[in-house]
Every structure is written in C-alpha cells, then in structure tokens.
C-alpha cells in the first residue's frame, strides 16, 4: 500500500469518527394542565319561611353557555345535579301551588336552598344581607365571615358560599369568594356581601399585629 493510499484511509476514518460522536438533541415534552374536577350541586326546595321541603318541584339548571339540565326534587325537597363544571348557573324551581322562583349562583358551592312562596299568600321578598364576623382583625390574621339573607317574613338563610363578596379597600383587608377575611395593613375597610337584588355592609378595622 502506498503512502498516499494510507493517508486517504486515515482521513476517511477520522471523518467517520467525528460524525458518529456528534451529540443528539434531547427531546422535550410539555405537561398538559389538569382539567378542574367537576362538582355537584345539591340542595333543597322549601316553602318560604319554613324548613318544609317541597316534593316533585321541577328544576331547570342553565349554564353560561345555555346548556339546560332538568331535575325534580325528592320527597323531602332535596335535589342533586352531579358532574358540573365551575361557573355561573341559573336555577329555576316550579311547583304546583307555589310561586315560581329563580336564582343565579356560582359553582362550586357546598349546598343551595330555594324558597318558594305559596300562591295566594303575602309575597315574601328579601330585605337585606346580614354579615357577621370580627370587627377588628390584626394584620396577618384571617377569619371567616358569614352572610345571611333576611326575608320580609323574618326568616333568614345562610348565603355565605353563594354571596358575592367585596372589600372597598383590599390593600387593608381582602375577602375571598367564600367569605374568608384576611388583614394586610393597618386601616379600615368596608366588606359587602351581595345576594340576588340585596346586599349588606360590614366595617372591619385592621390593627397592628
């Protein structure tokens, strides 16, 4: 073998080595965020001002996209709509001998009660929303507030989980959608809770820790 042929063989061998040792790009995958778990809406339909359940009330649940789900209350006035996505819904209840009622609610909620007034009786309407909780809170602390709607017949209903909560000065104290109050800085703010066409206000003072 001549020196020229030997030199050419060495060049070809080195080139093959350089190609085989080139790094291979690593593949990457992107994780897909998990979908929120569906929830259930459970509750009761009762005669206004009482705890008496209304059986066989026809229920119509409509989501924000216009999808309709129908249901009927059981012998105790109870109902359940399973596998619902979080969001805003309207719920209508119709029962023989009672005035039709409708409500708007945001899911998820723990439970929901609808009150139907008997036909021919004095109409029951909402007066206000009463808020209970600490009027003074140290910075860094959190406390649960509760909201109850007050009706013209003197009855009340807890609406803590379905009311719309708001703080007028959120840098002082903020309130969550479930009514959890947290103080952030010294000062005073008004907390409001709204339910359907009525609302209530509650003043909170945040103090030094």
The per-residue pLDDT for range 53-112, each reduced to its tens digit, is 999 999 999 998 999 999 999 999 999 999 999 888 889 999 999 988 888 878 787 788
Is the sign of the CA dihedral 52, 58, 61, 62 positive or negative?
negative
Instruction: Give me the numbers of helices (H) and strands (E) for the chain, helices first please.
Output: 1, 17
Burial state string for 62-85 with b = 16 or more CB within 10 A and e = fewer than 16? beeeeeebebebeeebebebeebb
- Spatial distance between the Cα atoms of 136 and 69, rounded to a whole number of angstroms: 44
Task: List, for residues 69-80, the tens digit of each pLDDT value.
Answer: 999 999 999 999
Calculate the average pLDDT of the chain: 83
> How far, rounded to the nearest angstrom, does the alpha carbon of residue 67 sit from its chain's CA centroid?
19
Task: List, for residues 36-52, the tens digit of each pLDDT value.
Answer: 678 889 999 998 878 89
9 pLDDT higher than 50? no
Domains of the chain and any CATH numbers = 39-120 (2.60.40.1120), 127-207 (2.60.40.1080)
Q: Which residue has the higher pLDDT, 110 or 20?
A: 110
Q: What is the DSSP letter of 118?
A: B
Average pLDDT over residues 187-202: 92
0.75 exceeded by pTM = no
- The beta strand positions in 6-141, using DSSP E, are 39-47, 58-63, 68-72, 78-84, 87-94, 101-107, 112-116, 126-132, 136-138
Q: Which residue has the higher pLDDT, 117 or 130?
A: 130
Average pLDDT over residues 133-149: 93
């Amino acid at each position: 073998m001549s020196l020229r042929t030997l030199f050419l063989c060495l060049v070809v061998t080195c080139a093959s080595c350089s190609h085989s040792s080139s790094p291979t790009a690593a593949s990457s995958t992107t994780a897909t965020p998990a979908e929120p778990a569906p929830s259930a809406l459970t509750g009761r339909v009762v005669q206004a001002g009482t705890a008496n359940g209304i059986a066989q009330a026809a229920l119509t649940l409509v989501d924000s996209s216009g999808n309709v789900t129908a249901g009927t209350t059981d012998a105790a006035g109870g109902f359940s709509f399973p596998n619902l996505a979080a969001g805003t819904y309207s719920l209508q209840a119709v029962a023989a001998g009672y005035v039709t009622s409708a409500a708007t609610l945001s899911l998820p909620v723990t439970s929901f009660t609808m009150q139907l007034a008997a036909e021919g009786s004095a109409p029951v309407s909402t007066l206000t929303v009463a808020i209970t909780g600490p009027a003074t809170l140290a910075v860094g602390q959190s406390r649960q507030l509760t909201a109850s709607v007050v009706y013209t017949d003197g009855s009340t209903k807890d609406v803590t989980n379905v009311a719309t909560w708001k703080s007028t000065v959120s840098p002082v104290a903020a309130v969550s959608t479930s009514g959890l109050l947290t103080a952030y800085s010294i000062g005073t703010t008004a907390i409001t809770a709204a339910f359907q066409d009525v609302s209530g206000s509650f003043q909170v003072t945040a103090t030094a820790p």
